[in-house]
Amino acid sequence: MARQFNTAVTCDPKRHYMVDISNKMKVLERLINNGNYFTINRARQFGKSTSLKWIYNQLNGEYLVVSLSFETTDKSNWEDNKSFYDFFCKKMIAAFKSARIENTEYEHFWMSVNQVEKPDFQFFSEVITQFCEKVKKKIVLLIDEVDQSLDNELFVRFLSMLRNKYIDRDQFGDNSTFWSVVLAGVYDIKSMKVKIRPDEDHKYNSPWNVAANYKLDMTFNPQEISTMLTDYESENHIGFDINEISEEIYKYTSGYPVLVSGVCKEIDENLDKDWSKDGVLTAVNNIIKDNSAMLFKDITKNIENNSDLKKLLRAISLENFKISYYADIFPLELGRMFSLLKADKHSCAQIHNLIFQQRINNYFIAENQFGRIESNAGPSVYTDKQGDLNMPLIINRFADIMKRRKDIKESDDGQKTFLEREGRFMFICFLKPILNGTGFYYSEPENDDGSRMDLVITFNHKEYVIELKIWHGTEYEISGRDQLSEYLETRNLSEGYLITFSFLKGKSVQEKPEWIEHNGKRIYEAVI
- 64 belongs to a structural domain: yes
Angle 153-172/121-134 helices, nearest 10 degrees? 50
Burial (CB count within 10 angstroms: exposed 0-12, middle 13-18, buried 19+), residue 90: middle
Other Cβ atoms within 10 Å of 23 Cβ, number: 8
> What pLDDT sits at residue 189?
67
Do 230 and 160 lie in a common domain? no
Helix (H) or strand (E) holding 359: helix 354-367
Do 184 and 230 lie in a common domain? no
Give the domain extent around 116.
22-196
Round to whole Å and give the CA distance between 53 and 51: 5
> What pLDDT sits at residue 73?
66
- 357 belongs to a structural domain: no
Domain-ending residue, one of 230, 256, 288 = 288
Closest CA relative to residue 158, chosen from 121, 129, 188, 130: 121
Do 496 and 436 lie in a common domain? yes
Round to whole Å and give the CA distance between 155 and 149: 6
CATH number of the domain to which 512 belongs: 3.40.91
Q: In this structure, what DSSP letter does residue 70 have?
A: -
Asked if residues 336 and 187 have their Cβ atoms less than 8 Å apart, the reply is no
Do 53 and 159 lie in a common domain? yes
Confidence class of residue 354 from pLDDT cuts 50, 70 and 90?
A: very high
For residue 4, list its beta bridge partners. Answer: 16
Do 226 and 189 lie in a common domain? no
- 431 belongs to a structural domain: yes
Please report, rounded to a whole number, the percentage of residues in the chain having pLDDT higher than 90.
Answer: 50
- 322 belongs to a structural domain: no
Do 165 and 231 lie in a common domain? no
> What pLDDT sits at residue 199?
46
Do 273 and 402 lie in a common domain? no
> What pLDDT sits at residue 403?
76
Mean pLDDT across the chain: 85
DSSP per residue over 509-528, as a string? Answer: S-SS-EEEEETTEEEEEEE-
How far, in whole angstroms, is CA 522 from its chain's centroid?
37
Asked if residues 227 and 20 have their Cβ atoms less than 8 Å apart, the reply is yes
CATH number of the domain to which 145 belongs: 3.40.50.300
- 7 belongs to a structural domain: no
Asked if residues 124 and 86 have their Cβ atoms less than 8 Å apart, the reply is no
Lowest-pLDDT range of 124-133, 151-160, 445-454: 445-454
Do 172 and 34 lie in a common domain? yes
Q: Tens of pLDDT along 66-123?
A: 999 988 767 788 888 999 999 999 999 999 988 766 568 899 999 999 988 888 999 9
Sequence-separated (6 or more) residues with CB below 8 Å from residue 50: 10, 11, 21
- 217 belongs to a structural domain: no
Do 422 and 274 lie in a common domain? no
> What pLDDT sits at residue 252?
96
User: Coil, strand, or helix at residue 416?
Assistant: coil
Do 417 and 513 lie in a common domain? yes
Burial (CB count within 10 angstroms: exposed 0-12, middle 13-18, buried 19+), residue 72: middle
pLDDT at 507 over 70: no
CA angle 312, 314, 319 (to 5 degrees): 105
- 132 belongs to a structural domain: yes
What total of structural domains would you count in the chain?
Answer: 3
> What pLDDT sits at residue 100?
63
How far, in whole angstroms, is CA 348 from its chain's centroid?
16
Q: Tens of pLDDT along 177-201?
A: 999 999 988 776 655 544 444 444 4
Do 226 and 192 lie in a common domain? no
- 359 belongs to a structural domain: no
Q: Tens of pLDDT along 252-299?
A: 999 999 999 999 999 999 999 999 999 999 999 999 999 888 899 999
Question: Which is more confidently placed, 1 or 255?
Answer: 255
DSSP per residue over 156-207, as a string? Answer: HHHHHHHHHHHHHHHHH-GGGS-SEEEEEESS-GGGHHHHHS-TT------T
Do 29 and 148 lie in a common domain? yes
> What pLDDT sits at residue 372?
55
> What pLDDT sits at residue 216?
82
Helix (H) or strand (E) holding 101: none
For residue 180, list its beta bridge partners. Answer: 140
